[in-house]
Structure 1
Amino acid sequence: MHFESLRTFPAKVIPVFLGILFIHLIPEIHPGLEFPGSVFRLSAQTQDNKGAQDDVFEYKVKKNDTLSKISKQFLEDPGKWKELLKYNEIPNPSLIREGITLKIPGYLRKDSIPAVATAVAASPEGIVELAVGVVESSKDFNPTTNAGSWTKIGKNATLFTNEWIRTKEKSALRFAFLKTRISFDVRQNSLLRIISSGAQSLAEYKQDTAENAKAVQVNSGSVQSAVSEKDKGKKYKLFVVTPVAMVGVRGTEFYVDSSVPEKSLIGCYEGELEVGAQGSIVKVPAGFGTTVEKGKKPTTPTPLPDRVEIQ
């Protein structure tokens, strides 16, 4: 149709016709525009590109930093601090502590702050809430040779993935995961570390039901843990690995005792556990416990005589 033909259209029809023509022609001129139905909008491509994986600014939280201060410094709209927490999977502002690395995506960040292509700094996984006696950590300990350097740690010390922790005689430790706030009480003469989901058992950590599932590897000693009430009923939050077994943890209060070499005692106070060894998985309900020895399957759960207070 020639534009000359527009003269034959009623005056009220011309704007409608031009609008339709505009919608059909613009995608050819600017493919970044989309027209869902009768409404066109700028493609989310701009925002997607701005928030792409390679457009993430990383900021290591410093002493005296607060969420409010960080939001004002880096966010285009400081009022979107909740989105920043969600992006970093941090449920509570109080969990932003010195040493943590925050990822600030492009779609939230000020335009004046470009992403810096640097190696991702390791972020702490846990924090020490209580330390009694001699509690130490090591980043280079080798459990096979027992070689490694140890440093004494105390309250508010941060714990990283693959960092070993040990308690000496008449010593104890309580630490909590920064994101989930799941806490562990570690008894005397214990050796453990936080590890990433390596899967290899307990049905491959139940196919990593918990996203980026973490595990506590207990080489020796005893730990006791409880998931906070608000987290109960959810799917797996954590896994505990001993030399002879793996334990899948839901909303649960439980203990794992590996004080005796090549043997683990596992008890459940509340909720339910799943204990795996030698290709077999048993469910351990509240008030029951199971024993696992090297090379053997978990025993049939039996009632706990009394609440076990491990030393």
Structure 2
Amino acid sequence: MLRYSRFITAISLLILTLSSVQAEDWVYRLRGGDSLSKISAQYLKNEISSVRLQYYNQIKNPTRIPLGTEIKVPLEWLKLTPSPAEVLSLEGEVSIVRAGESDPVLLSEVDQLQIGDVVTTGRQSSLALRFADGSRLMLGPETRVSMDTLSAFGEVGMVDTRVRVQYGRVESEVEPLQGAGARFQITTPAAVTMVRGTGFRVGVESGSGLTRNEVMKGRVAVDGGGESLNVDAGFGTMIEPGKPPLKPRPLLTPPDISRLGVEMDLPAAPLRWPGLEGAEAYRVQLLRGEPGAGVIVEQVLATPEFTLPELISGSYRIRVRGIDELGLEGLSAEHRFLLNEPPPRPPPPPPPVKVEVPVIEAPQFNGPWMWVRWNAVDKAWGYRFLVAADPALQQRLLERIGTNTERVLPVPWPGTYYIRVDALMESEDDVRQSQVYRLDLPLSQPRP
């Protein structure tokens, strides 16, 4: 009777074990001091006994297992622990709706993201996240992402990361995944993208769910419309909801911004680079110089030129890439530059006599900087400073409002510029304009 009971128990365990067999298992190589009981206690869920592990691996005597034996474990038997995402950098305002809650709050740089959290970036905001295995996810402006799964398989080193992009653009840098159960997956309304270690971007149009995938390195697998395809580095694809992915097409090459590396000095006029063949538009990102920093300013431009905003001193990066007729974004070109503090300004002239309209004086130059001054106007609450490429000031390059009667700015590129100052009075209809000052900077003039 006892033998029959043991036989029935063994058969039951065998049936239960075989029902859990998967195409891929986690494999543990037996070392000195190990046992099935120790492996079960350290790595397996509480309901999984060492006896089940023994039968799964068809081990006759659990007390005499040779060192180096490979012990196979079904992935679903392994312990799962929450593995929150860390905020690496945050620019602007980013809101978060915590799992189980309905009201958004502002995210801070010390927060962590848990399973079920939903984050949304603002119009000129960005967020960089780091997951448990070191992989990174960068969210661009006006992007919403849900943290569907953030888990680790106990102590075995495998991480399961699954995020859902509802709309916007994200860029991933995925560390090589270790183990059969490791996963990094991005889901959109149109497709599922799975990788084993690579760099790629995903863009999702709000409303339509149209998805674009662009691969910078490695390879990704894209599933959509019941079909799957592989996309290699340097290629991209587009997926409409319910339809299969388009055949991968080459991404645009990086734009040539080498000229910026020679002449970058924060000019007042726009920064320009040669047009890229096949580019319908350009995405320009301004980032801080330190590794992992988020995007400060991001714009999509129809022409190959970009005007820098006013910046404090420090290290920065400019990243530029072309966008083709399908909206796929090409490979990026990046330029680093350092903005130093401006030198001490020249001694100010004697206090000007107050007049009815501002009068622009001849600019003063000091290295790469120039000062433009004008007379104060009695009862003016502020001044509008304008720089344009034409005498009628229709093609404006710079417009700033302030209370000072001077402006310090980097020396523009060689060319002809037109400057005007408007005195702003209490009445909106009372705007007192200065003369239009013509500034000629000859091509032969050397730039510091």
Q: What TM-score comes out, normalization by structure 2 length?
A: 0.37
Q: What does residue 167 of structure 2 align with?
A: 220
Cα distance between partner residues in 1 of 2:232 and 2:36? 50
Cα distance between partner residues in 1 of 2:160 and 2:221? 15
The answer to whether residue 143 in structure 2 is matched with residue 190 in structure 1 is: yes
Q: What does residue 206 of structure 1 align with?
A: none
Q: C-alpha displacement at 1:196, in angstroms? A: 2.6
Aligned residues of 2:174 and 2:184 also touching (Cα < 8 A): no
Residues 70-89 of structure 1: matches in 2 within 5 Å? none
Residues 1-311 of structure 1: matches in 2 within 5 Å? 53-54=45-46, 123-140=82-99, 148-178=102-132, 180-196=133-149, 213-228=160-175, 231=176, 237-260=183-206, 261-306=208-253, 309=283, 311=298
Cα distance between partner residues in 1 of 2:110 and 2:136? 14
Cα distance between partner residues in 2 of 1:214 and 1:183? 11
Cα distance between partner residues in 2 of 1:141 and 1:168? 22
Q: C-alpha displacement at 1:127, in angstroms? A: 0.7
Indicate the percent of aligned positions where both proteins have the same amino acid: 22
Cα distance between partner residues in 2 of 1:45 and 1:276? 39
Cα distance between partner residues in 1 of 2:112 and 2:97? 12
Aligned residues of 1:141 and 1:149 also touching (Cα < 8 A): no
- From the CA coordinates, give the structure whose radius of gyration is larger: 2
Q: What TM-score comes out, normalization by structure 1 length?
A: 0.52
Stretches (4+) displaced over 4 A = 42-55, 232-236, 307-311
Q: Kindly provide the amino acid, as one letter, of the partner of residue 131 in structure 2.
A: F
Aligned residues of 2:190 and 2:211 also touching (Cα < 8 A): yes
Cα 1:279–1:212 change in 2 (3 A) is: farther
Q: C-alpha displacement at 1:211, in angstroms? A: 5.5
Cα distance between partner residues in 1 of 2:230 and 2:40? 46
Cα distance between partner residues in 1 of 2:40 and 2:214? 50
Q: Kindly provide the amino acid, as one letter, of the partner of residue 176 in structure 1.
A: R
Aligned residues of 1:220 and 1:258 also touching (Cα < 8 A): yes
Structure with the larger RCO, 1 or 2 (CA within 8 Å, 6+ apart): 1
Aligned residues of 1:234 and 1:251 also touching (Cα < 8 A): no
Q: How many residues align?
A: 186
Q: What does residue 7 of structure 2 align with?
A: none
Flag the structure with higher helix content: 1
Q: Kindly provide the amino acid, as one letter, of the partner of residue 84 in structure 2.
A: E
Residue 213 of structure 1 aligns to a residue in which SS?
A: strand
Q: Kindly provide the amino acid, as one letter, of the partner of residue 162 in structure 1.
A: G
Cα distance between partner residues in 2 of 1:45 and 1:218? 42
Cα distance between partner residues in 2 of 1:170 and 1:240? 23
Cα distance between partner residues in 2 of 1:150 and 1:300? 39
Residue 257 of structure 1 aligns to a residue in which SS?
A: strand
- Give unmatched runs, 5+ long, in structure 2: 1-32, 48-78, 151-156, 255-281, 285-297, 299-448
Q: C-alpha displacement at 1:309, in angstroms? A: 4.7
Q: Kindly provide the amino acid, as one letter, of the partner of residue 113 in structure 2.
A: L
Deviations 1:93-136, CA, capped at 9 Å, x for gaps: xxxxxxxxxx9xxxxxxxxxxxxxxxx9x844201110110111
Aligned residues of 2:85 and 2:130 also touching (Cα < 8 A): yes
Cα distance between partner residues in 2 of 1:44 and 1:234? 21
Aligned residues of 2:172 and 2:201 also touching (Cα < 8 A): yes
Q: Kindly provide the amino acid, as one letter, of the partner of residue 246 in structure 2.
A: T
Q: C-alpha displacement at 1:155, in angstroms? A: 1.4
Cα distance between partner residues in 2 of 1:43 and 1:290? 48
Aligned residues of 1:141 and 1:164 also touching (Cα < 8 A): no
Cα 1:234–1:168 change in 2 (3 A) is: same
Q: What does residue 60 of structure 1 align with?
A: none
